[in-house]
Amino acid sequence: MTTGIDAIAFDIAKLHLPIKTLANARNIDPEKLEKGLGLLKMTLPDVHQDTVVFAANALTKLISKNNINPQEISRVYVGTESGIDSSKPIGSFVVSLMEQLYGEGSFSNCDTVDFTFACIGGVDALQNCLDYIRLNPEKKAVVITSDIAKYDLESTGEYTQGAGALAMLITANPKIIAFNHNWAVSTKGVFDFFKPYRTIEKEAITGTNSNTEWFGNLEAEIEIHKDQPVFDGQYSNTCYTDRTREAYFRFKEANNIKGSLYEKWESIIMHLPYAYQGRRMFSEIFAVDATEPLAQQNDADYATKLKEISKSEAYKEFVNQKLQPAEPASSLIGNLYTGSVFMGLLSALIQFTEKDIDVTGKTFGFLAYGSGSKSKVFEGTIQSGWKEAVTTVKLFETLSNSKEIAFEDYVSLHKKEQKTSLLQPHNEWVLDYIEKENPNLVGARYYKWME
């Protein structure tokens, strides 16, 4: 018996800003972003969309397009770093919305929880559900990744924004990919990227040093929530490289693999904050785990040699063969945080389909990363039903219908000054309203299905 992904669906924000438009507005050479980082578009949530909306839309598509009986789903586990409540998980909202479509109590037998560890939370949810299905092969589970990657205006992360969700059906004897159960991990607690609780003294807002009630707040400090992270781009790249390298060689050791590990993989799927992140970060592993490995030298010589290898024809050929198939979707979407690695898988499989390359029985390697920081390395074997399963997903056809918006509209959305949707929602979930009056429900979010 094998366990893995049987079906997959997605919901990506339907608005986008061309990277060239952003680059010109920020006085950045567009080629630096387009050719240097592989960025073409960044997708943006409309006024009526949040992470619950994306998750619910992805799951609705997964169920309807694959004729899944909701009663067969015993788990809906969500990976996210864009939660909308500090207590109530996205999964709780999603199963409630599913019952609006499929009937009261139709998901009451379903366990649900959110996993949060920056961009690797979806992989954590997947690993947990694989273990569950291995113990309960008659059951079915769903893993959803849903995130909105938002960065401060004019920050160095601004051009990597993106938004959307993926939903994956996890079963025994799956159609798309079956995963090896021997995984490797590397974890270290660092501050490369995080979203802290932020506070401001009430006196700075009210102008008085008396701690009087302010919109229901009795504390002298006011907590402020921001979707945007605190991050150090260069340090985060270092952490990404260190964790993935450590997990990679631990995987190789744990599985007693002789010779180069990556040469045994048909394709390599990595977390992609931007499309070319993987090719930039993998060069050291390429050099050290080669048939003729690069030996550790003094720091200056080692760095120089690594740079030479990263620019070599051999590495460029390796990138085109093993890394490039996962990149095109990222170029058109932006960062999906927890969904990035799974969108890379879908992108690669569709690329192989379009090029009529049969990867049945081939092994794919996965290098996942989440800031804070943790990497997991694992592998899976492509199953015989993969082509039929991904052909119906229509990823790039959907992305080609995205609506381009003006830079002014982007800024208005980012600042939450835009109050009406830029696109009329159709056949999808929307955020209907947020309760502001009822004291027992202040802040409760309500959603509805738009025909």
Same domain membership, residue 208 and residue 120:
no
Tell me the two tokens of residue 129: 């559900």
3-state secondary structure of 47: coil
Phi and psi at residue 12, to the nearest 5°: -110, 145
Output the CA–CA distances (angstroms, integers) from residue 195 to 49, 114, 224, in the order listed. Answer: 21, 17, 11
Q: For residue 39, what are its two tokens?
A: 């960025």
Distance, first Cα to last Cα, the chain: 41
Q: Are residues 339 and 287 in the same domain?
A: yes
Q: For 114-154, where are the alpha helices, taking DSSP H only?
A: 121-135
Both 133 and 216 in a single domain?
no
CA-to-CA distance for 188 and 36, rounded, in angstroms?
A: 29
pLDDT of residue 291: 82
- Under 8 Å between Cβ of 271 and 340: yes
| 80 and 214 fall within a common domain | no
Q: Which residue in the block uniquely carries the two structure tokens 């939450």?
A: 416
- What does the pLDDT read at residue 297? 65
As a residue count, the chain comes to 451
Amino acid occupying residue 351 = Q
Residue 207 and residue 158 in one domain: no
Of 203, 224, 245, which residue constitutes the final position of a domain? Answer: 224
Q: Give the mean model confidence (pLDDT) for residues 82-86.
A: 96
Q: Sorting pLDDT into bands at 50, 70 and 90, what band is 303?
A: confident
Query: Who's near 135: CB < 8 A, 6+ residues apart?
Result: none
pLDDT digits (tens, 9 = 90+) for 255-287: 999 999 999 999 999 999 999 999 999 999 999
How far are the Cα atoms of 7, 77, 222, 385 from residue 167, in angstroms, in the given order? 8, 10, 36, 18
Mean pLDDT of the 12-18 span: 98
Q: Is the pLDDT of residue 317 over 90?
A: yes
**What percentage of the chain carries pLDDT values higher than 90?**
94
Element (H, E) at 409: helix 407-414
| pLDDT at 299 exceeding the cut of 80 | no
Question: Are 214 and 351 part of one and the same domain?
Answer: no
pLDDT of amino acid 295: 80
pLDDT of 139 > 90? The answer is yes
Distance CA 134, CA 136 (A): 6
Q: Containing H/E element for 198?
A: strand 198-201
Same domain, 421 and 291: yes
Domain shared by 204 and 239, yes or no = no
What's 394's domain CATH number? 3.40.47.10
Mean pLDDT of 160-167: 98
Structurally, the chain folds into a number of domains equal to 2
pLDDT digits (tens, 9 = 90+) for 423-450: 999 999 999 999 999 999 999 999 999 9
Where are the alpha helices (H) located in 40-120, listed in sequence order?
51-65, 90-102
Residue 73 domain boundaries = 3-192+232-450
Q: Which residues pair with 44 in a beta bridge?
A: 15
Please state, as a whole number, how many other Cβ atoms lie within 10 Å of the Cβ of residue 22.
Answer: 20
Please tell me the distance from the alpha carbon of residue 417 to that of residue 20, in angstroms, as a whole number.
23
* Residue 301 predicted with pLDDT over 90: no
Q: Do residues 278 and 402 share a domain? A: yes
The Cα–Cα gap between 399 and 407 comes to: 19
Antiparallel, parallel or unpaired: β 15-18 and 403-404? parallel
- DSSP-derived pairing of the beta strands 363-370 and 267-270: parallel
| 300 and 436 both lie in a single domain | yes
Q: Report the pLDDT value the prediction gives residue 51, as an integer from 0 to 100.
A: 98
Half-sphere exposure of 218 (CA within 13 A, CB side): 0
Residue 344 φ then ψ, to 5°? -60, -40
The tokens 């990679």 sit on which residue?
Answer: 248
pLDDT tens for 99-119 read: 999 999 999 999 999 999 999
Average pLDDT, the chain: 96
DSSP letters, 226-272, are -SSPEE-HHHHHHHHHHHHHHHHHHHHHHTT--S-SGGG-SEEEE--
When pLDDT is averaged across residues 148-158 and rounded to a whole number, the result is 97
Supply the pLDDT for residue 216.
87
pLDDT (average), residues 353-377:
98
CB contact at 8 A, 372 and 118: yes
**60/136 same-domain check:** yes
Tokens for 323, please give them.
């890394």
Task: Judge if 372 and 349 occupy the same domain.
Answer: yes
Maximal C-alpha separation, the chain: 71
